[in-house]
Structure 1
Amino acid sequence: MMMDINTIKQVFSEYWSVRAPSYSEDMSSMDKYDEWKSELQQRIESRYPEKKPDEIKILELGAGHGYFTAILVELGYSVTAVDMAPGMLAEAKKNYVQFASRIQFMEMNAEELSFEDGAFDVVFSRFLTWLLPRPEQAYSEWTRVLKPGGLMLTYDTMQMKQRNPDNKDTSAKKEENPYRAKLLEKTGMREELYDNLIDLSNELEIGYLKRPEWDITILTELGVDASSEDVIRLSAIESESKEDDADGNKTSIMSPLILVKGIKK
């Protein structure tokens, strides 16, 4: 199905702007700050052992409420953080006002970057690619703005959906969704906005691709030496599934998290 990119941009930007304050609050309860700080420092410093942190220019895509922006700045890196939702950027600035002078926040679509070629040493994102209507174009842009030898770190959930021509919820099913009702009440979001976001998300082609194999193939074609790694140890989001422990009790399992990493040739 041909999707209207402008409609997607508008719906996604408005949804995440309205969602920003509650999202920030929700994410603060799933903290793995120290683990992520160690993870990113190890990945970046192993790539640039001779560089001082402030000499390393990082582009964070889909910065959201600024959680990872703060980690990267605390590690001493030079950070440019972009997001297409103005509400998310406002939340990030409010959350980390102490770092305001050290971060360049910019409203920008991750698929349409305005930076010059080879502007960054590192391109980083988490939980972004699964929301992209044109992921191949996004990867092309991310590769373009990387310096030769630059490092790409893309952390994402990569669960493949099953195609179903009737996968859209009926109005009745939507109204019975407890998460929907709770979110609408908490944020004051319009029902139409939430429902449009879900419908558009279900149409995104990336949800039906075999990943991370697809990501690696695309990046390889773009001149990136790419590979993947399971990093579920960093996941702070519980899966809907449960498993039995040694005593037969149901315990939570964490949502999958995969790292696609690459070096631009």
Structure 2
Amino acid sequence: MTHPTAAITAYWDAAARDFDEEPDHGLRAPETRAAWSDLMSRCLPSTPSDVLDVGCGTGSLAELVAGAGHRVTGVDLAPRMVGAARAKLTAAGLPGRFLVGDAAAPPTGQETFDVLLSRHLVWTLPDPAAALDAWVSRLRPGGVLLLIEGHWREAGQGDEPYVAGAESLPWHRGIRADELADAVRPLVRDLRIHPLGADTALWGGPVSDERYALVARV
């Protein structure tokens, strides 16, 4: 029997080849790229900061973050995603460190960061509450937790089913903003929710599910 972690790794490794075809993944359209760049600039510190991007995928947000002058470390379970992220920043002439590892428990030792960034990840986690605890513990005092999430109508890549047993994941169809806020609030201060679903530029077109950014400080 395939170990669940191995199945998840294989799924995202296979997804890496076409991952950037989605408008909000590859950020290839100028309008989409500009919208995400603006969102990052509004949510991240204005001074150069150490940013941990967990579940970094192919590195599109990491590229924007590094391009804004921040020092970025990306973590992803799928080696092909990490390889794509490294290649993307190298091609852009930007610095960045990328590690293969579990985004729920990033392999960064005792390092702490000014920002922890996660986008569309929590639905894949077997224990999201433990991951939130781990992420907050990686932040320096006054650090920023930035979670870009949603409550999905579907989970997985396009019409392809996710790994076997995904229906048992606690947040396998995403999580509503109020529910995620309730889970995060005991760990942080100054928590804010920014609705994003109506900003079609972010997604490359209209979306019908709930999408938002949760921004908090520790």
Aligned to 2:215: 261
Q: Distance in 2 between matches of 1:143 and 1:17?
A: 27
Q: Helix, strand or coil: the match of 1:205? A: coil
Q: Residue 219 of structure 1 contacts residue 225 of structure 1 at CA under 8 Å; is this kept in 2? A: no
Cα 1:29–1:39 shift into 2, 3 Å: closer
- The Cα shift of 1:116 comes to 4.8
Partner of 1:39: 39
Shift of the 28–209 alpha-carbon distance from structure 1 to 2, 3 Å rule, reads closer
Partner of 2:21: 25
Residue-by-residue CA offset, 1:157-197 (whole Å, 9 max, x unaligned)? 22478xxxxxxxxxxxxxxxx934xxxxxxxxxxxxxx5x3
Q: CA deviation at 1:199?
A: 3.4
- Structure 1 position 115, deviation (Å): 3.2
Answer whether contact 1:112 1:141 (CA < 8 A) is retained. Answer: yes
Is 1:110 the counterpart of 2:103? The answer is yes
- Ranges in structure 1 where 5+ consecutive residues have no aligned partner: 1-5, 162-177, 181-194, 239-251
From 4, 9, 13, the equivalent of 2:9 is 13
1:210 Cα deviation after fit: 5.7
Partner of 1:146: 139
Mapping 1:81-160, distance limit 5 Å: 81-99=74-92, 102-116=95-109, 119-159=112-152
Larger radius of gyration: 1
Residue 253 of structure 1 deviates from its aligned partner by: 4.1
For 1:110 and 1:76, locate their aligned partners in 2 and report how far apart those are by CA, in whole Å. 23
Letter in 2 for 1:76: G
Is the 1:30–1:237 Cα contact (8 Å) retained in structure 2? no
CA distance in 2, matches of 1:254, 1:29: 20
Q: Deviation at 1:8?
A: 2.8
Q: 1:79 aligns with which of 64, 72, 76?
A: 72
Q: Quick check: 1:227 aligned with 2:192? A: yes
User: d(CA) in 1 for partners of 2:174 and 2:91?
Assistant: 40
Contact preservation (8 Å) 2:191, 2:216: yes
Tell me how far apart the structure 2 counterparts of residues 69 and 29 of structure 1 sit (CA, whole Å).
12
- Contact kept, 8 Å, 2:153 with 2:173, in 1: the verdict is yes
The match for 2:203 is 236
Q: Which amino acid aligns with 1:236?
A: W
Assess if the C-alpha contact under 8 Å between 1:158 and 1:256 holds in 2.
yes
CA RMSD of aligned residues (A): 2.7
**TM-score with structure 1 setting the length:** 0.69
SS for the counterpart of 1:115 is coil
- CA shift, 1:205, in A, is 1.2
CA separation of 1:9 and 1:216: change in aligned 2, threshold 3 A: same
- The alpha-carbon deviation at position 72 of structure 1 amounts to 0.6
Q: Name the one with the larger helix percent.
A: 1
- Residue by residue over 1:29-83, the C-alpha shift from the partner in whole angstroms, topping out at 9 and shown as x without a partner, is 77411111111112223xxx5x3x2xx1000011101111110111110000110
Change (3 A) 1:42 1:235: closer
Counterpart code for 1:78: R
Cα offset, 1:10, TM superposition = 1.4
Gaps of 5+ in 2: none
SS of equivalent residue, structure 1 residue 102: coil
Amino acid in structure 2 at the alignment position of 1:12? I
Q: Kindly tell me: are residues 107 and 96 of structure 1, through their superposed partners in 2, closer, same or farther at Cα, counting changes over 3 Å?
A: same
